[in-house]
């Protein structure tokens, strides 16, 4: 799959164009990997993602913050995505909470 830098690029793209469906899909996938690697996986984590998380360990703190920021921008710009990513946003928030 990808490395942290690739995830960062995908999350930054969603920050720049939070209405772009392709950017959103890539960013949501990246944010899911960040949340999962931080110990907050979704109920259903695909095997490939589980393996990626195991291989890469805990993400850098700034990447968690970027994932949170990008998902907030996407949610604010797109009502349909807002409902879909609420759980992800909460999980990312749990990771960032002290």
pLDDT under 50: residue ranges of the chain: none
Confidence at residue 98, expressed as pLDDT on a 0 to 100 scale = 61
pTM of the model as a whole: 0.92
Confidence at residue 97, expressed as pLDDT on a 0 to 100 scale = 76
Confidence at residue 35, expressed as pLDDT on a 0 to 100 scale = 96
- Asked whether the beta carbons of 29 and 23 are under 8 A apart, the reply is no
How far is residue 13 from each of residues 10, 50, 57, 58, measured CA to CA in Å? 5, 24, 23, 22
C-alpha 10/C-alpha 4 separation (Å) is 10
Confidence at residue 96, expressed as pLDDT on a 0 to 100 scale = 82
Residue with tokens 């805990």: 58
Confidence at residue 87, expressed as pLDDT on a 0 to 100 scale = 93
């Amino acid at each position: 799959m990808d490395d942290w830098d690739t995830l960062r690029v995908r999350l930054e793209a969603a920050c720049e164009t939070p209405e772009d469906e392709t950017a959103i899909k890539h960013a949501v996938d990246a944010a899911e990997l960040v949340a999962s690697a931080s110990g907050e996986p979704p109920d259903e984590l695909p095997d490939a993602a589980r393996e990626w998380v195991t291989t890469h360990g805990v993400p850098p703190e700034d990447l968690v913050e970027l994932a949170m920021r990008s998902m907030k921008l996407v949610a604010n710009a797109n009502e349909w995505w807002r409902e879909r990513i609420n759980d992800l946003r909460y999980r990312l928030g749990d990771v960032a909470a002290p």
